[in-house]
Structure 1
Amino acid sequence: MKVVYLALLVLVPGIAYGHTVDSVGEYRVEIGWLNSPVVSGETNALEFLASPLEPGLELEEQVFKDGIEGLRKTVKIQLVYKNETITLPLSAVHNSPGRYYAAVNPTVSGFYQANILGTINDTPINLSMHPPKVAERAFVEFPEPSDLELEQYIDEQRALAEDIRNLQRSVDGLGAPLAGIEYAGIGAGIIGIGMAAVALTRSKKS
């Protein structure tokens, strides 16, 4: 069994950019992300293509043509990330025989494994294939990363806490102590900053 990784954009008819090609029995199978580049946190889909192998050609010379219909109920994709798995049903692409997709939202960046399970006509299929890496969402966001609102909230809370401290200094200058409710306001502001900072740190690590 020979696997072809199409990591570079090549001008070969019938082959999609960033897809992986393999074979099982007399069939050529191809898998990849429907939308590229694929980033975490965005709805995407794994694209699956199946077609007969053309006799006399090496795997890297094979192209998708004469796609095989009727695999929606006989083939499934098991998507694996580290120790977590999910089984995704296939949907047929309208007016494009042999092309299928399985919708999924990859929430974490990194490498995923796609296990192709089932049968193509009477041929059992149990292949482990590897679509291109899922990129971290922040790397391609524009003009600002999605954490901008949280960072702005932290800045606002810090400004509010500073205003309360200035008020405290003014009151202290007049010789009048702050009431308990003012101290509670200061404490709430500090707690708010801490909670927002923790949330921001966790979001950047995920």
Structure 2
Amino acid sequence: MKNFKSKMLFYNIFLNSSSISISVMEEFHDYTMMFLSAIITFIMIVMFKILKNKMTNYKFKENMNLEIIWTMLPMLILLMIAYPSLYYLYLFDLMINPSMTIKVLGAQWYWIYENFDSNMGTSYSSYMTPDNELIKQEYYKMGWRLLETDTRLIVPYGTEIQCLTTSLDVIHSFSIPEMGIKIDAIPGRLNSIIFQVNKPGLFYGQCAEICGTGHSFMPICMEAI
């Protein structure tokens, strides 16, 4: 039991990517960190040499070729970072053929899910499971405190899903970090996001916009089947 709790704690801290969106974000992060690490290393080496050497190199400070190089090189690096950034930004908004459309409505302080289908549509509310009800459940069904809900958002994995968000009162934010989802729910406005779950399982999230006294108690529990 102790080993199981430690594994779940490790899993909760270091979440794995479970969708194409978050995998692309991690890839872009690693790609950008490669440039940042090289730049920081070069600057530290130059600063160390300048501080260590008491002599002054005037050819280094007043060199036209070096001026051109360290003007053009940052421009080239920025272009190499900007192109994949804009490409991925466009890719996240690209909708090819979603097999399912979900409408998420934020309210104080719970979520309302509406599933649209060609034959029928269903709507249901999702509230946080109170502690007194959570401890009554069996251990393997208990879930995470302040993250488990009485009704889960059920989605199929391996398919493209469109999520529409809006709000009934104030601004909320529908956020599931493990899926790379974070979209604002604004009253009178319909925002859209596309995601695809790579594997079945439970994925937790919370409202990421301060929406009142119950802001900390409107979790999101999505189950991919």
TM exceeding 0.5: no
- Tell me: higher relative CO, structure 1 or 2? Use CA pairs within 8 A at least 6 residues apart: 2
Q: If the length of structure 1 is used for normalisation, what is the TM-score? A: 0.30
Which one has a larger percent helix, Structure 1 or Structure 2? 2
